[in-house]
Amino acid sequence: MAKYGAKAQQKVKKNLHEHKHEGKFQSRKQAIAAGLNQARKAGGKVPANKS
């Protein structure tokens, strides 16, 4: 069973693209974290934060 849903994958992919081409995020980790956070708020299938 997949940990992450399609909505989460789309958000992370979009943010990584913005990181690479637009310089919106300082690091890949920030881009991934922001994408997962957006997916959580949108009701996507994403595990809870570890902290």
Q: Is residue 14 part of a domain?
A: yes
Q: For residue 45, which of 10, 14, 4, 11 has the smallest C-alpha distance?
A: 4
Phi first, then psi: give them for residue 2, nearest 5 degrees.
-75, 140
For CA atoms 15, 19, 23, 25, the dihedral sign is positive
Q: Is residue 46 part of a domain?
A: no
Structurally, how many domains does the chain consist of?
Answer: 1
d(CA 32, CA 34): 5
Residue 37 belongs to domain spanning: 7-41
Higher-confidence position of 50 and 27: 27
Write out pLDDT tens, residues 12-40: 999 999 999 999 999 999 999 999 999 99
Residue 48 pLDDT greater than 90, yes or no: no
Q: Is residue 2 part of a domain?
A: no
Place 2 in a pLDDT band, splitting at 50, 70 and 90: confident
